[in-house]
Chains A and B, each alone.
Chain A
Amino acid sequence: MRAKWLRGGISLLALALVFASGWLTRNLLANRSVQSGAVVVQRDFAPALADARTPASNLDVSEPSMVTLYDRVFRLVRDEYVEPVPTDKMTHGSLEAMLAALDDPRSQFLRPEQREQFARALNGEIQGIGAVLTVVKRKTTLRVGDETAPLEQNLLQVVAVAPNSPAEKAGLKSGDFIDAIAGQWVISEDPFAEIAQLQRMHSPREQIRQASERARKRLESSISLSEAIRRLSQTPTDAKDAKPLKLTVKRAGQTLEVEVACATTRVRPLEYRLLEGRWGYLRPNLLNAAASREFANALRTLKQGGAKGLVIDLRGVAVGQQEPALQMLSLIATKRQVAQVEYRAGNRYKVRPLNLPKPPQPANLPVAVLTDRGTYNVAELTALAIRQTANARIFGMPTFGDASQTNLYQLKDGSGFTLTVGRYMGLDGAKFHQKGIQPDVRVAAEPRMRGQLGGDPALERAISWLQSQEKRS
């Protein structure tokens, strides 16, 4: 009798175990599908981004009631609107507005096609005119009659032109401001600012009417900043759209008309050679994973070839990400900490060290870094970090001056956004935002043949310094 109960118990236990294993098997499968699912999403929509992250779902919002409000408005509109609603466009529109409200040119929403462009650019495939563009804020004054009012401008500026790009062929230069595209004014300021000022001055009605007429005319043939950037950074697929764009460019107080084509430019990650059998010349055209891999290989080859010093040419390097830059730095820097980052913690600002991902394996050669106004952001950080952690000097012109540390986020529908999360600064606390990094040796003359002795004054100054270092040791 007792044995019967025992047997019954054992079989019940066995059955329970089987049930549990069914349960667990499903869970295991489900979790694995999630992991592979994430990969699928990335492959479908854009080339993999080295440094893209997913916005945290575990972070709290300080005012949950605001999320509730947003959710309620969305649901009401979805259910009540006269037509079916475009959910994706609504999400994009709201994130675009939110990020625009931060009033920071480096924090912006990327629609799926923009995120793809962004990813392609990071992989060395630059679309459109082949220039890196940014929006710079400038505070100026508006003169109305004999009074002035503050006026804020958002100017579209060329940071750098990619080698062999249509922009380079058209003669666009780092620092150029793009004022109009095909005769359409790129809206850089509030055209009604004058009218507001006239109203504050209680000016005659007729004068206000004329001013608003002018503003209206100006707006009639205009193009928004984001639309301008979009036009300049896409390669039309349709051949008949491929006629060149007429740009009105402001350069050092002069206005120029430039015709530039739109075609995809492929940028080689790295070029290098041994100069005079002794000087390793390395020119990363961007700071991405491929460039950092090739940098390591090139460095090995150059050292084996007998390099006694290095020239790292960062002129016009405007595309890059922090992680690959740190990888490269780990082959030059002699310290693990290479820079600092200032960040916001609540209402206060704090500074944290920026460290290499692994202990450095420095080449232990003197390094000359070449910079110019097109040396931008991560490239600026790299130049500064080399100067402060190795036997190094900077030659050329001051850098652009954008010290924003930005995160790149991807959302699962293929869109994404960038967000400025910090400001880079030197080990000694030196800030270069909006100031740029001053070279140790200023060389204003532009190269006739970049990277060629006899045609590149900054390079020649760099080499003579390297020679002096060789003699000293």
Chain B
Amino acid sequence: MRERGRAWVYTLLLMPLLFVGGFVVSEAYAVLTYSSPSLLRDSLRNLTRRETLEPTDAFRSALAEVEAHFYGKPPAIDKLTYTSIDGMLGALEDPYTRFMDPDAFRRMQEDTTGSFTGIGALLEDAPGGARIVRPLPNSPAQKAGLQPGDIIIAVDGKSLERVALDEAVRMIRGPRFTEVKLTIRRGDQEPFTVTIKRDLVESPTVDVYLEDDANKIYRIWLQNFSEKAPALLDRALRQIKQEGGRAIILDLRANPGGLLDSAIEVTSRFIPGDKVVVSVVGRQGLLDRKSTLRGRYANLDVPMVVLINGGSASASEIVAGALRDHKIAPLIGEDSFGKGLVQTVIPTSQNTAVAITTAKYLTPNGTDLNAKIVDGKRVGGLKPDIEVKNPEDWRMTEEDKARDKQLQKALEVLREKLNASQEGNGILRAQGEAEVNR
């Protein structure tokens, strides 16, 4: 009898415990499986008052409403998605964090490998079509016998009469090994047609000019930092050595940048190993410090200057900043563009990719390379040591060289240095540099 009574007592004691247990287990189940609303989660959410939207949920439901109910014919769903992603990334107000649809992603891949498939000719706008400025060496265009001055008036039978230049370029480019039929007008001759097989074309990266024959001053125009840039630079430096070059102008104007690895390689040609080129600072602080590579130094002990302008961006600014901070070369020209951000390109599905700014670059001396928007104006980038502005309508062509004041200043500075060092005195050379840095 006493035993039975005790059993009931236990049962009664267990009851509230089990009630609470049922409550707790149900809540835990709700939290873990999202099967029903959770009191815990909701009260936490209510504490924060303003609910945040899960971007993907909002996107999915809005997209579904548009597809199902929008009166007009909605744009293709992939285009609509790309547009939405563009809008999402636009909120970051960082032009470099961007989404690349399949077209843009393909173009980007072409650009950084320094090659694309086409016919390999520089074109310019001309009445009735596109004029060939010059075919690139070893390009399909050169092999097909195209000459400077030829005017392409039709592509695959389609007239270029009413087609803008960039559209004409798109028509000429295409998959590798496919054929394109060009109708050419050459002088007064009857127009004729050539069929050219498209192939990989190396986009020009490095050009060398002997700017001052008497003083043997060479200008290396580095047009981008593609994969091939270091090798092409090596070729240029060998040429300059062989020809007895005495001074170098590294021209980084209008160079939009490219691969970081190429920038490190290029810097390593001018600075011996293990010197800091750039620091990479991310959300959590210093992420990485890139230094010059050993065994890549070109061993050219000649005076050097670097030309920059508003078109020098990213990798150009890294190289220019490192050469300046390590006192290898003063910078001449205009403020650089100010793109000191590290993008990581991450391929996503359907041949798309997203470029994300994951970190920013600092020069060896700690200058933040990225320009800020202050009162609607871009402020920042590298400041040149000697500021020289070129006329606004100046163009970076052979024909317009006479008006290139930046180049003239560079030559002037180098001639002074050469004259100073001719007297065989290292002190004089240092003075020249101090003057430059003033």
Hey, which bits of chain A sit against chain B, CB under 8 A?
7-8, 11, 14-15, 18-27, 29-31, 33-34, 37, 40-41, 44, 55-57, 59-63, 65-74, 76-77, 80-104, 107, 196, 199-202, 205, 209, 342-344, 347, 404-405, 407, 409, 411-415, 417, 419-423
CB B67 to nearest CB in A, in angstroms, measures 6
- Check B91–A23 contact: CB distance below 8 A: no
B393 on the interface (CB 8 Å rule)? yes
A61 touching B53, Cβ below 8 Å: no
Q: Which residues in B have their C-beta under 8 angstroms from that of A77?
A: 88-89, 92, 97, 354, 356
Q: Which of B53, B83, B162 contacts A415 (CB 8 A)?
A: B53
Please judge, given known A-B contacts A14-B11, A27-B36, A91-B88, whether A411 and B53 are in contact too, CB under 8 Å: yes
Residues of B within 8 A of A99 (CB): 62, 66
Among B42-50, B270-278, B414-422, the stretch in contact with A: B42-50
- Can you offer 23 A-B residue contacts whose CB atoms are under 8 A? A7-B7, A11-B11, A19-B19, A21-B19, A22-B19, A23-B25, A23-B26, A26-B26, A55-B64, A55-B65, A56-B64, A59-B64, A59-B65, A66-B78, A69-B349, A81-B357, A91-B59, A93-B88, A97-B83, A98-B59, A98-B62, A98-B63, A102-B72
Say whether B109 faces chain A, with CB atoms less than 8 Å apart.
no
Asked if A93 meets B90 with Cβ closer than 8 Å, knowing A23-B23, A30-B38, A102-B75, the reply is: yes
B104 within 8 A of A: no
Interface residues in B144-165 by Cβ distance below 8 A to A read 162-165
The one of A26, A69, A82, A417 in contact with B358, judged by C-beta atoms closer than 8 angstroms, is A82
Q: Is the CB of B42 within 8 A of A37?
A: yes
> In the complex, which residues of chain A have a beta carbon less than 8 angstroms from the beta carbon of B165?
199
Pick the interface stretch among B124-132, B181-189, B294-302, B317-325. Answer: B124-132
The CA of A61 and the CA of B359, in the complex, are separated in Å by 35
Interface size on B, residues (CB 8 A): 94
Min Cβ gap A440→B in Å is: 29
C-alpha gap A33/B122 in the complex (Å) = 69
Segment of B255-263, B340-348, B398-406 engaged in the interface with chain A = B340-348
Inter-chain contact total with CB atoms closer than 8 Å: 291
Residue on A nearest B65 in the bound complex, by CB: A55
- A371 → chain B closest CB, angstroms: 24
Query: Nearest chain-A residue to B58 (Cβ)?
Result: A91
Contact, CB under 8 Å: B56 / A95: no
Q: Is the CB of B74 within 8 A of A61?
A: no
Interface-central residue, A72, A81, A107, by most chain B CB under 10 Å = A81
Which of A14, A24, A63, A89 has the most chain B CB atoms closer than 10 A to its own CB?
A63
Instruction: Enumerate chain A residues within 8 angstroms of B99, measured Cβ to Cβ.
Output: 73
Q: Is A200 touching B163 in the complex (CB atoms < 8 A)?
A: yes
For residue A37, which residue of chain B has the nearest CB?
B42
Residues of A within 8 Å of B71, CB to CB, are 104, 342-344, 404-405, 420-423
CB of B20 within 8 A of CB of A22, answer yes
Residues of B within 8 A of A344 (CB): 69-73
Given contacts A70-B56, A95-B58, A107-B70, 5 further A-B contacts (CB under 8 A): A37-B46, A65-B350, A99-B66, A407-B65, A413-B53
Look across to chain B and name the residue whose beta carbon is closest to the beta carbon of A87: B52
- B84, A90: Cβ atoms closer than 8 Å: no
A30 and B356 contact, CB distance less than 8 A? no
Of B88, B342, B354, most buried by chain A (CB within 10 Å of CB) is B88
A94:B348 contact, CB within 8 angstroms: no
For the complex, give the distance between the alpha carbons of A164 and B314 in Å. Answer: 57
Known contacts A11-B8, A77-B354, A413-B53; A59 and B88 CB within 8 A of each other? no
Q: Name the residue of chain B whose CB is nearest to the CB of A423.
A: B71
State A94–B81 Cα separation when bound (angstroms).
9
Contact B70 A419 (CB under 8 A): yes
Residues of A within 8 A of B342 (CB): 82
Q: How many whole Å from A469's CB to the nearest CB in chain B?
A: 38
* Contact pick for B69, options A41, A60, A202, A419, CB 8 Å: A419
Of the candidates B77, B78, B84, B125, the one having the most CB atoms from chain A within 10 angstroms of its own CB is B84
- Name the residue on B nearest A420 (C-beta): B71
Type the 1/0 row for B26-37, where 1 means its CB is closer than 8 Å to any CB of A.
110010000011
- Chain A residues lying within 8 Å of B282, measured Cβ to Cβ, are 82
Separation in Å of the A193 CB from the closest CB of chain B? 13
Residues of chain A with a CB closer than 8 A to B434's CB = none
B85 close to A (CB within 8 Å)? yes
B18 within 8 A of A: yes
Complex-state Cα separation, A327 to B62, whole angstroms: 29
Alpha-carbon distance A7/B15, docked complex (angstroms): 16
- Cβ–Cβ contact A65 & B349, under 8 A: yes
Whole-angstrom distance from the CB of A55 to the nearest CB of chain B? 4
CA distance in complex: A98, B82 (Å): 9
Among B37, B86, B283, residue most surrounded by chain A Cβ atoms (within 10 Å): B37
Q: Are A22's CB and B30's CB within 8 A?
A: no
In the complex, how many angstroms separate the beta carbon of A29 from the nearest chain B beta carbon? 6
CB distance B18 to A88 under 8 Å? no
Asked if B85 contacts A70 (CB within 8 A), the reply is yes
Q: Is the CB of A417 within 8 A of B62?
A: yes
Chain B residues within an 8 Å CB radius of A30: 30, 36-39, 42
B436 within 8 A of A: no
Residue B56 contacts which of A60, A74, A104 (CB distance < 8 angstroms)? A74
How distant is the Cα of A20 from the Cα of B15 in the complex, in angstroms? Answer: 11
- Measured between alpha carbons, how far is A277 from B8 in the docked complex, in Å? 85
- Taken together as a complex, chains A and B put the C-alpha atoms of A422 and B72 apart, in Å, by 8
The answer to the question of B137 belonging to the interface, with a C-beta cut-off of 8 Å to chain A, is no
Q: Is B138 an interface residue (CB 8 A)?
A: no
5 nearest CB pairs, A to B: A97-B87, A22-B22, A59-B64, A94-B88, A55-B61
Contacts of B25 in A (CB 8 A): 19, 23
Q: Is the CB of B354 within 8 A of A66?
A: no
Question: Which residues from chain A contact B59 at a C-beta distance below 8 Å?
Answer: 67, 70, 91, 94-95, 98
Chain A residues, Cβ within 8 Å of B66: 98-99, 102, 419
A residues less than 8 Å from B84 (CB atoms): 70, 94-95, 97-98, 101
**A82 in contact with B341 given A95-B84, A96-B87, A415-B53 (CB within 8 Å):** yes
Instruction: Knowing A31-B36, A81-B97, A97-B90 are in contact, say whether A413-B70 is a contact too (CB < 8 A).
Output: no
Chain B residues near A423 (CB-CB < 8 A): 71
Is A414 a contact of B50 with CB atoms below 8 Å?
yes
Known A30-B36, A76-B346, A93-B88; contact A67-B65, beta-carbon cutoff 8 A: no
- Is B396 at the interface (CB under 8 A from chain A)? no
Interface residue from A31, A94, A103 paired with B85 (Cβ < 8 Å) = A94
Residues in B neighbouring A56, C-beta threshold 8 A? 61, 64-65, 68
Among A200, A407, A422, the one with the most B-chain Cβ atoms within 10 Å of its Cβ is A200
Which residues of chain A are within 8 angstroms of B430 by Cβ–Cβ distance?
none
Residue in B closest to A195 when the chains form the complex, CB atoms = B164
Flag whether B80 is at the interface (Cβ < 8 A): yes
Q: Specify which of B21, B51, B88, B89 is in contact with A412 (CB 8 Å cutoff).
A: B51
Whether B55 is near chain A, meaning CB under 8 Å from some CB there, is yes
Give the CA-CA distance A40 to B65 in the complex, in Å: 25
Q: Which residue of B lies closest to A202 (CB)?
A: B127
Chain B's nearest CB lies how many Å from the CB of A350? 11
**Cα separation A201 to B78 with both chains bound (whole Å):** 34
Q: CB-CB < 8 A to A67: which residues of B?
A: 56, 59-60, 63, 81
Task: Kindly state the separation between the CA atoms of A94 and B57 in the bound complex, as whole angstroms.
Answer: 12
In the bound complex, CA of A76 to CA of B59 (Å): 16
A88 partner residues in chain B, CB cutoff 8 A? 52-53
Nearest A-chain residue to B79, judged by Cβ: A101
Given A7-B4, A55-B61, A96-B87, A22:B51 Cβ within 8 A: no
CA–CA, A188 and B398, complex, Å: 41
**B392 CB, min distance to chain A CBs, angstroms:** 10
- The reply to whether B50 and A68 contact each other, CB–CB distance below 8 Å, is no
Give the nearest-CB partner of B99 in chain A.
A73
